[in-house]
Amino acid sequence: MTVFKTILKILNKLKGMIILYTAILVAITALNQTSGNNMTNFEDSKPSVLIVNKDSEDNIAKGFEDYISKHSEIKDIDTKDEDKINDAIFYRDVNYVIYIPKDFGKNLLDGKNPSLEYKSCGDEYSSYAQMMVEKYIKTVLIYKDYYSGVELISKVNKVVDKDTKVYMKTTLDTSKLSSMTQYFNILNYALLAGCVYCISMILASLNDETVRKRTIISSFNYKKYNRIVLLSNSIVIFAMWILYMILALILFKDLMFSSNGLGYVINSFVFTICSLTIGFLIGNITQNKNAIGGIVNVIALGTSFLCGCFVPFEYMPDYVLKIAHILPTYYYVANNQLIKTMEVFNFESIKPLLINGAVIVISSFIFVAVTNYVSKRKQIIN
């Protein structure tokens, strides 16, 4: 009890840093939610197209022009003035210009493969226009051997105008889950920084030379002493974890009571245990209070950047991800990403979560073993 009261007194002096880490977590989450709310539903965008048709009397050329006109925004520019056309492309007033040569329709039906000239600004709209051109010409080439005249035009138009309906059935609120995933990813930084800083500062105070000598000459076994200090620190750190879960409940409300929310909570709890052991290890390695701040930045920020807390995995180089595999943070973030996309929770679906969680737990045992070794070595007083 004496040790626990001492730790609480020390922790009271460190509350400013805990508030700072919490503020960073809330600020990044709020920014992420604001950007997520700006998302809109998909809307079909039409490219701006200019058609220079020198075969306007032919039915195929007319049908082709009608099809392009229907699926794009036709610009009214003098087709005889190339300077105006070039200026329109340069200033993005027109994305794509199609030049239909004379006898294009006749040559196409005769199998002569007439070429179309075009100009484009090279953006995604011009690529879409190019796809429409290729789609119409390929459809004509397929049906010209079976139909002719008006019937051919009718059949081609029917095929190219046919829409395919795509239905996406999901019960997941992807926008909120993305924000929630970001929150729990950034929670890695808050937990790791909080654990390392608080525990290191607590142990630095407890391992003051005078206090340490008294502990060594007492009847306390070093392992028993470590367990008492670890338990006291555990209560403090888990109280911090509960605070972050309450904060998550305020931010995400009903989503926290879903299967996905439970997955995030369990994953963060397992990582909290790992963070606790890391903090305990660092606290036993150094008692230099001036160096602890720098160590916190290296460990918390370094692992957060390396393991995808701030930058998604898909944007990170392969060699960085390979390095990240040796850190427990990587498996914590990987679990968060898996939970975000899960609709059904059964043994097969949660198997990757269990494997990643096992890696985090094994890492925790390794940190505890190393801590005991370091602590035992420090029992020797020069």
Q: Decide: 200 and 286 in contact? Cβ < 8 Å.
A: yes
27 sits in the region (left: phi over 0; alpha: psi -120 to 50; else beta) called alpha
pLDDT band at 168, cuts 50/70/90? Answer: low
182 and 60 in a single domain? The answer is no
pLDDT at 252: 86
- Determine, yes or no, domain membership for 168: no
Domain count for the chain: 2
Q: Which domain holds residue 350?
A: 2-37+176-377
pTM over 0.85: no
Same domain, 302 and 366: yes
Q: Which pLDDT band holds residue 165 (cuts at 50, 70, 90)?
A: low
Alpha-carbon distance 202 to 158, whole Å?
76
Residue 171 falls within a domain, yes or no? no
Read off the CATH number of the domain in which 121 is found: 3.40.1710
Provide the pLDDT for residue 273.
Answer: 92
Answer yes or no: do 61 and 106 share one domain.
yes
31/73 same-domain check: no
Residue 309 inside a domain? The answer is yes
26-35 tens-digit pLDDT: 787 777 666 5
Q: What is the DSSP string of 134-191?
A: HHHHHHHHHHTTT--HHHHHHHHHHHHT------------HHHHHHHHHHHHHHHHHH
Is 315 inside a domain boundary? Answer: yes
pLDDT digits (tens, 9 = 90+) for 338-358: 998 888 888 888 999 999 999
* pLDDT one-digit tens code per residue, 169-185: 555 666 778 888 888 99
Would you mind telling me the total number of residues written for the chain in this entry? Answer: 382
DSSP string of 19-41, one letter each residue: HHHHHHHHHHHHHHHHHHHT---
| Residue that terminates a domain, selected from 160, 195, 215 | 160
Domain contains 167: no
Question: How many angstroms separate the CA atoms of 152 and 41, rounded?
Answer: 37
Q: Where a domain ends, among 98, 125, 160?
A: 160
- C-beta of residue 296 within 8 angstroms of C-beta of residue 196: yes
Together in a domain, 247 and 329: yes
Same domain? For 180 and 280 the reply is: yes
What is the CA angle 216-220-224, rounded to 5? 120
Q: Which helix (H) or strand (E) holds 340?
A: helix 328-341
Q: What is the pLDDT of residues 269-325, one digit of tens each?
A: 999 999 998 988 888 888 788 888 888 888 888 888 888 888 888 888 888 889 999
User: Do 144 and 200 lie in a common domain?
Assistant: no
**In 3-state terms, what secondary structure has residue 8?**
helix
Task: State residue 39's pLDDT score.
Answer: 46
Residues 21 and 63 in one domain: no
